[in-house]
Structure 1
């Protein structure tokens, strides 16, 4: 039996507002605001060059339920480009761009088919072979029920069966539950490939058959580090090969800077500039968080005499005329190599209390910040992983203060 080839992507989040990053220079912020569109165009360009049999886009094409005119126009033009090359596209809408939203609709070309709210199977005929693609679109923002139960089991063993599912693994406390499923649920359907969406981290949950999250195509905040993109899949009965294709227009990343034997300010600025230049050569435009490590007692005085904000400003000034732009979002100084923390009854009692707080107690402590009428709009909902990191950071800072 011959194989088929398709692109699997998800979570385009076209026209993401990039909250909390408006302090960038105007040219850099414009590039950042356009990055989801640029990443989408990279997907289109790759498809035109490679000519896959079809493309799957598994939910959250748009960033919000009120899809912007600009985002819809750019998506519609991209679909028209693919139509010129007879490349079919199957899309489903997710929790961000659910069908109950309000927007001014654009007409999509005939090569595009959208999954309805009720689970549906769309059949493509490729080189004499049937390819059955099953999925659904979110009727409303939150779907707590296990939609996978509505997917029909594969019965035609001559056809290829693909499931599109925008949702999360049941029991995964790091994400809100949307259309939950288990690996066993998916395997029971006897499909040849599961094209997932919703989780922005690229990961392969199962190899045979492949169960795949491609991640999003463009980072939007610090939790989404690294190069983003989509999967190029070649699939036949019982076998699949995959190739990751990068699409990021702006790469978000943490850069570790080795500060061993640094004595003077100019030495520190030099090693940071070299690290940024290396990033630029490898990835192009980016937003970076510098993590300064291997700080000894002599280098520590550099940060006692000048605030981190001043260091950030100087480094930004050094980079402002370089292209493509790399914006330094923040600097973190790791002083663990020179930590001289000595436990006391008082300090250990405080640390014990922090570590014993439940997630609900942590959220209660932070409630005032998250309910602030202005600041609250720019804060994402806290996950279990976020709370774990907050405890770790609080303990680290507390110990530094007790040196």
Structure 2
């Protein structure tokens, strides 16, 4: 019997969005965005007439769930319950079972898995559609491989619902660590995972698949692009998967090249054109991190004291008036001055000597190693370690090249100022 389900994770309801300006329409749009994403997930379930919804942990942003977040979850799951759609939930490190006060009940169609492995059969008209297995975090830190407790118990489609770090994904605490080989050995068809906020699919040995839908609402500048949930259609033992965006506020990282831009008016126009091209008008809002790149005559203007900050204030005000409004998360300057390196080499002098030395070091690993072993570099490394900064065990040629170019550019700025 064919059926559909939706897989979502990492709702982080009531994320505070620290750093968003308190004035204007932006703060409210950001604070409401996680709730609106949940509502859109509900609407996908209703529109697609799915059999059930899977929520793979971190429904709430903090262990002590806010009343607003709990009420919102109860309201949306109630809509699904009224439509005959079941919900299966596991809790993760942000919302472990120990943080549940029990003050708010959930509809009878909602199954919250406890701290021990459990399997539930999903039926329609007395016939089994599939099996869903799950386990929740009892508390914040779970270091064991919880996937080892899962197993195929019979024929038919089987789903594993788990909040876990597959393959030690970077940027996420290594909670409930697991591997593709381990998941594949359990014999399940679909692993509905949460914890990693970047959408990913991992094909498993034996034919199963492990899926991270990503979080349905980006929360900062490292969570860019469309965010949403997975719609899965199962028929005749096979499945089709489709990602559906549900985010209301979208984050972007945009680079704005200064090459060919000679005036501040031209720079503002270039920025606004780039933002308009990337920011879809149908969303509630956007947030952008802008980085100025390339070489151009405006670099010297922006290097003046206070100039970049003043440009940032002006851009922030203009972007906030856009439709939909756009939050300027930050403006960063990675541009460089216009320097003709061929002319520098032809002119000779100290700058030419510096470039020659950099080229020699970059091509000679032994010379690089000797540079790193010098007393001054060793002392710097020790000071960085005492400050908690990981120091390189060996130098990188590209860093030496960049340092040399910065030196030449500084000399050029002094000579032309």
Bucket of the pairwise TM-score, normalised by the shorter protein? 0.7 to 0.9
Q: Which moved more, 1:131-140 or 1:272-281?
A: 272-281
* Structure 1 unaligned regions, length at least 5: 368-383
1:131 alignment partner in structure 2: 130
Aligned match for 1:365, one of 387, 403, 408: 387
Q: Among 75, 88, 110, which residue is 2:108 paired with?
A: 110
Q: Which stretch shifts more, 5-14 or 42-51? A: 42-51
Gaps of 5+ in 2: 342-350, 362-367, 410-417
Give 1:320's aligned residue: 320
Is the Cα–Cα contact under 8 Å of residues 121 and 128 in structure 2 kept in the other structure? no
Cα distance in 1 for partners of 2:79, 2:85 equals: 9
The number of equivalent residue pairs is: 376
Give the alignment's TM-score, normalised by structure 2.
Answer: 0.81
Deviations 1:125-151 (A, max 9, x none): 136234110111100101101111111
1:140 is matched with which residue?
A: 139
Is residue 165 of structure 1 aligned with residue 187 of structure 2?
no
Change (3 A) 1:221 1:281: closer
Distance 1:34 1:392 in 2: 47
Where does residue 181 of structure 1 map in the other structure?
178
1:256 and 1:291 in contact (8 A); partners too: yes
CA distance in 1, matches of 2:4, 2:66: 32
Root mean square deviation of aligned Cα: 3.4
1:192 aligned onto 2:189: yes
What is the rounded CA distance, in whole Å, between the counterparts of 1:355 and 1:202 in structure 2?
41
Q: Displacement, 1:61?
A: 0.5
Which string of whole-angstrom CA distances, capped at 9 and with x for unpartnered residues, describes residues 296-332 of structure 1?
Answer: 2x23223124522111111122223222110111122
Distance 1:395 1:286 in 2: 38
Which residue does the alignment assign to 2:84? 86
Report the equivalent of 1:265: 264
The SS at the match of 2:166 is coil
What secondary structure is seen at the aligned counterpart in 2 of 1:219? Answer: coil
**Which string of whole-angstrom CA distances, capped at 9 and with x for unpartnered residues, describes residues 246-301 of structure 1?**
011110111232433111110001111111222333563111011233332x2322
**Equivalents in 2 of 1:393, 1:253: separation in Å?**
27
Q: Distance in 1 between matches of 2:57 and 2:281?
A: 30
- How far residue 118 of structure 1 moved from its aligned partner, in angstroms, is 0.5
Give the C-alpha shift of residue 114 in structure 1: 0.5
Question: Deviations 1:12-43 (Å, cap 9, x if unpaired)?
Answer: 00001123x14352421121111111111111
1:281 is paired with a residue whose SS is coil
| Higher Cα Rg, which structure | 2
Residue 79 of structure 1 and its aligned partner are, at CA, apart by: 0.7
Matched-pair contact (CA < 8 Å) for 2:299–2:337: no
Shift in Å, 1:238: 4.4
Superposed, which structure 2 residues align to 1:351-362 within 5 Å? Answer: none
State whether residues 258 and 335 of structure 2, in contact with CA within 8 Å, keep that contact through their aligned partners in structure 1.
Answer: no
Check 1:82–1:327 CA distance in 2 against 1; reply closer, same or farther (3 A cut): same
Asked if the contact 1:199/1:213 (under 8 Å) is kept, the reply is yes
Tell me the equivalent position of 2:120.
122
Q: 1:27 to 1:350 in 2, by over 3 A?
A: farther
Q: Give the one of 40, 45, 61 matched to 1:42.
A: 40
| Residue range with higher mean Cα deviation, 59-68 or 93-102 | 93-102
Q: TM-score, normalised by structure 1?
A: 0.83
Which residue in the other structure is 1:371 paired with? Answer: none
Q: CA deviation at 1:7?
A: 0.3
Cα 1:184/1:320, change in 2 over 3 Å: closer
